[in-house]
Amino acid sequence: MPVYQLEINDQTFNVEADRDTPLMWVLRDQLNLVGTKYGCGIGQCGSCTVHIDGIATKSCLLQVSQLQGMKITTIEGLSKEGLHPVQEAWKEIDVPQCGYCQTGQIMTATSFLKNNPKPTDSEIRNAMQTNICRCAAYNSIEKAVKVAAKKLS
Amino acid sequence: MKTKQVNKSRRDFLRTSVLASGGMIIGFNLFNACKPDVKPPIDLSLLDYNDFNAFIKISDDGKVTIFSPNPEIGQGVKTSMPMLIAEELDVAWKDVNVVQGVLDTKNYTRQVAGGSQSIRQGWEPLRQTGATARQMLVNAAAAKWNIDPSECTTKEGIIKNSNGDKLGYGEVVKEAALLEVPENVKLKDPEDFKIIGQDISNVDIDKIITGKPLFGLDYKVDGMLYASVLRPPAFGQKLGSFDDTNTRAVNGVQDVIKFGEKIAVLATNTWSAMKGKKALKAEWIEDSKPENTKFHDEKLLGLLDGSSFETLRKDGDVKNAFSEADFVLERTYESPFLPHNCLEPMNFFANVTADKIDLVGPIQTPAGTAYGVAQMLGRNMDEVNLQMTRMGGGFGRRLYGDFAMEAAEVSHLAKKPVQVIFSREDDMEDGIYRPAIKYRIAASVKDGKMTGYHLKEAAINSNMYGLIPNFFPAGAIDNYQVDVANYKSNITTGAWRAPYTNFLASAEQSFFDELAEAMQVDRIQLHLDLLQNVKGTTDDRIQYSPERLEGVIKLAVEKSNWGKTKDGIYQGFAVYYCHNSHVAEVVDLEMQNGFPIIKKVTCAVDCGIVVNPLGARNQAQGGVLDGIGHMMYGELTFADGMPQSNNFDTYQLIRINQTPQVDVHFVESDMEPTGLGEPTLPPVGGAIANAIYAATKKRIYKQPFINNLELEALKL
């Protein structure tokens, strides 16, 4: 099997995998970065969202062979020390019910707020619709993104 | 062996001892504690620590750890149940650490977490447990001070006496652990609650938001293989021959194992297992006739037209009432199969060895599942260890342990630790679905009064059971009858969030809206008038309280500005009782291009004392939005026995841009707490349908509503 060099959370990993292996499974099965969740495998639910060069991307759709030279950030690497302001907002609002989708939600929100620090309500709803929350904690997610935007500004 | 008389006193449920590492541990069996009326399965006097599944540990520094065995599926009990203990133990919540305990399934087989019952059943016994522990600590301090325990008070883990002396819990644990367990300890007056009623954050919040391993799919051990299972693609099929040549050529695939009608592909990683499964070539043989949605529709309508009903409740004579009526309104309501779609697909870990069986994963029924595995493999229950993980959703699907049984069987055959993982496609295609159900509801009216009500249900496999016909409007109408009929299908069905009522409430509450209009009476007043008939009833089968339903109706009307909204906003109302809670909801919507945009939902809830308002609001909002999503979009159809959707590209779950704000209002109450994981879901369908009618003058009788709207956009 080929070996790929991946830069994840500012660390370099050499990963042996078939070229079509989705990044999501490399993270979860090989690197033990299980904060990136499997939900659908077809880019519909957003549970596996990571940042590629700072942009929220679904890691189930990325093949391990496509990622050389790119900077990958997972939930585990979102903040070097303590919690990222988006995570703090999630905690403050107590967003999670079952909690399974929330790392993906946080990764989407973080990337979105970086590009749009003062979003309107409809921009928030538009941006966050890439992520499904089966418990439908959507009112809390919306509130938490607003709180996070305030924290970041 | 002689059986000893079992004395079910409180002290049998508690054991204390000093820990070698310092501190005191109090053991109890949470499932017995929560169900004091359940006959203990074994002689409690012979219990040792192995028989307890919940523990309170108080260390020398006064820190409290509560090991909670309850399945946590997102309903918040891992937070709220320990709150009940901590309240009566009288410690500061910040000093409490909650840890998911390992479940000991050795002696117990009644451990079901479902039906929104955890808090309701745990309310008194869990507080008793905390209060008993507190009393032991107080008794130990009093003995040290040589005073009567009644002279002591406690606050946040500190015991004080009238001289101003203080002792921390940690300073008396060694002595307390050796004392006799007191009985009938007094509980706090609700006015003195310091933790119950406060907004308490989810105990797992830090782990969840930083992505720490918590869920079933996050569990792994060295040498574990990932198993992807090929199951019959259609209901009614069994396995014929298969060819695994291509599968075995996939990198990472270690083994291919046939078991029953299924084939497991075992690999060193999930992707290889999934790829290996796709590479399998299998032939399937028809075992029973494959069914499709049109066939189900015809069967169920045929049942409603026929006479093969079982009557679950009959008051008076509906036939007679109908024949004497000024008019009879009859309507039919239809709903499809629904998959659960927990976001964490079904999965389980099993390691079956000669000495023992380790099972780890997300399950709502740990004991039943452990028992099932032991039976299947011909092993003793005491060889089975089952550890529960946090669950990425349950919604009823994880009441069924089919995936754990698969894991155990595959591990047994492979002689390796194995994690069975359903792909999303497996999860949706191999479900235990909410059955397709149809209702026919008829009501008679004479001289402006409702005189009869006849509810008929036709369901795939089974749905309504004996208790449901005693919900509203039972008792309010003299002539009342509930009949059920089933078609036995080869498609597997089971409980889905708010089982039995998730569509019934929508159907009945749509019907009442239409009936009120036909009677030319106010729809709210019709409910209030009917509830008057139930007040003071001596019929002890009636499950709901007319006063509490009236309370939530009035609260919803007030908070929603019912009837006083601005132009272009249309309102729909619904009220329902289930899971021991009373809920009324008002939907505000506006129409855009013939499409209803739900702007707001006002949700009035009477669930007694609200233990954790923060968690409670989350549950209530989630239930409403889940209900909106499934009523609007949820539908699983079948062709040739095969589900026609298998992932989120062809099955729509509600997303954030489709959700309104849900305003939740709790009735202030000093009544015991009741269920909250489910009861806000059932009424919302009716409220939406009624609001759509208010806007369009068109009634919707069929779920999903999206397929039954006359969309302007589609006419273009």
Question: For B682-712, b where at least 16 C-beta lie within 10 A, e where not — what string?
Answer: bbbbbbbbbbbbbbeeebbbebbbbebbeee
Whole-number average pLDDT of chain B? 90
Query: Does B316 score more than 50 pLDDT?
Result: yes
> Which of A53, A76, A99 represents a domain boundary (last residue)?
A76
**Two structure tokens written together for B101:** 């305990």
The Cα A113–Cα A29 span in angstroms is: 30
Q: Is B321 or B113 the better-scoring residue by pLDDT?
A: B321
Whether A36 has its CB under 8 Å from any CB of chain B: the answer is yes
> Which of A56, A76, A96 represents a domain boundary (last residue)?
A76
Residues A70 and A99 in one domain: no
Residues A89 and A72 in one domain: no
DSSP 3-state assignment of B702?
Answer: strand
The pLDDT > 90 percentage for chain B reads: 75
The Cα A35–Cα B647 span in angstroms is: 22
The pTM for the full model equals 0.92
Residue A45 belongs to domain with CATH number:
3.10.20.30
User: Is B406 in contact with B235 (CB distance < 8 Å)?
Assistant: no
The Cα B431–Cα B491 span in angstroms is: 9
Query: Does B311 score more than 90 pLDDT?
Result: yes
Query: Does A70 score more than 70 pLDDT?
Result: yes
pLDDT the model gives residue B119 = 72
pLDDT the model gives residue B117 = 61
CB contact under 8 A, A45 and B423: no
Q: What are the strands of the beta sheet with B153-155, ordered from one edge?
A: B153-155, B158-160, B166-168
DSSP 3-state assignment of B327?
Answer: strand
**Two structure tokens written together for A127:** 């941006």
Find the CB nearest B341 among A47, A126, A134.
A134
Query: Does B110 score more than 90 pLDDT?
Result: no
DSSP string, B137-201: HHHHHHHHHTS-GGG-EEETTEEE-TT--EEEHHHHHHHHTTSPPPSSPPPPPGGG-SSTTS---
Range in A111-125, B322-336, B379-393 with the lowest mean pLDDT? B379-393
Distance (Å) from the C-alpha of residue B615 to the closest C-alpha of chain A? 8
For the residues B232-257, what does the mean pLDDT come to?
98
Residues A94 and A114 in one domain: yes
pLDDT the model gives residue B122 = 77
The Cα B528–Cα B509 span in angstroms is: 14
Residues A12 and A65 in one domain: yes
Query: Does B696 score more than 70 pLDDT?
Result: yes
> Which of A76, A96, A115 represents a domain boundary (last residue)?
A76
Contacts of B505 (CB under 8 A, 6+ apart): B498, B574, B576, B578, B682, B683, B685, B686
Query: Does B102 score more than 70 pLDDT?
Result: no
CB contact under 8 A, B656 and A141: yes
DSSP string, B357-373: EEEEE--S-HHHHHHHH
Residues A90 and A72 in one domain: no
Residue A119 belongs to domain with CATH number:
1.10.150.120
Express each pLDDT in B250-275 by its tens digit: 999 999 999 999 999 999 999 999 99
Query: Does B35 score more than 50 pLDDT?
Result: no
Residues A16 and A71 in one domain: yes
pLDDT the model gives residue B12 = 56
Express each pLDDT in B374-406 by its tens digit: 999 999 988 998 888 999 999 999 999 999 999
pLDDT the model gives residue B345 = 98
| Domains: count for chain A | 2
Residues A64 and A123 in one domain: no
Query: Does B8 score more than 50 pLDDT?
Result: no
Residues A47 and A106 in one domain: no
For the residues B42-61, what does the mean pLDDT come to?
58
Chain B interface, mutation test: which of A27, A44, A47, A97, most B Cβ atoms within 10 Å?
A97
Measured between CA atoms, the residue of chain A closest to residue B660 is: A139
pLDDT band of B662, cuts 50, 70, 90: very high
Helix (H) or strand (E) segment spanning residue B66: strand B64-68
pLDDT the model gives residue B71 = 65
Whole-number average pLDDT of chain A? 97
The Cα B618–Cα B77 span in angstroms is: 13
* Burial zone of B237 (CB within 10 Å; 0-12 exposed, 13-18 middle, 19+ buried): buried
Contacts of A122 (CB under 8 A, 6+ apart): none
For the residues B17-27, what does the mean pLDDT come to?
73
- Does the CA dihedral B700-B706-B710-B711 come out positive or negative? positive
pLDDT the model gives residue B55 = 75
Domain ranges, residue A32: 3-76
Range in B124-128, B234-238, B321-325 with the lowest mean pLDDT? B124-128
For the residues A105-120, what does the mean pLDDT come to?
98
pLDDT band of B697, cuts 50, 70, 90: very high
Find the CB nearest B647 among A42, A76, A129.
A42
Helix (H) or strand (E) segment spanning residue B578: strand B570-578
pLDDT the model gives residue B70 = 63
The pLDDT > 70 percentage for chain B reads: 89
Express each pLDDT in B495-537 by its tens digit: 999 999 999 999 999 999 999 999 999 999 999 999 999 999 9
Express each pLDDT in B428-483 by its tens digit: 999 999 999 999 999 999 999 999 999 999 999 998 988 999 999 999 999 999 99
Measured between CA atoms, the residue of chain B closest to residue A28 is: B218
CA-nearest of B472, B549, B442, B514 to B692 is B514
Residues A65 and A100 in one domain: no
Residues A72 and A91 in one domain: no
Express each pLDDT in B546-559 by its tens digit: 999 999 999 999 99
Residues A39 and A102 in one domain: no
Query: Does B107 score more than 80 pLDDT?
Result: no
**Which residue segments constitute the domains of chain B, with CATH numbers given?**
10-207 (3.30.365.10), 216-287+346-421 (3.30.365.10), 309-337+434-715 (3.30.365.10)
CA-nearest of B405, B436, B423 to B637 is B436
Measured between CA atoms, the residue of chain A closest to residue B345 is: A39
Query: Does B48 score more than 60 pLDDT?
Result: no
* Burial zone of B563 (CB within 10 Å; 0-12 exposed, 13-18 middle, 19+ buried): exposed
Residue with the two structure tokens 């808090």: B119
pLDDT the model gives residue B74 = 62
Residues A92 and A52 in one domain: no
Find the CB nearest A29 among B199, B269, B424.
B269
pLDDT the model gives residue B709 = 83
For the residues B168-193, what does the mean pLDDT come to?
89
Whether A55 has its CB under 8 Å from any CB of chain B: the answer is no
Query: Does A103 score more than 70 pLDDT?
Result: yes
pLDDT the model gives residue B581 = 95
The Cα A49–Cα B623 span in angstroms is: 25
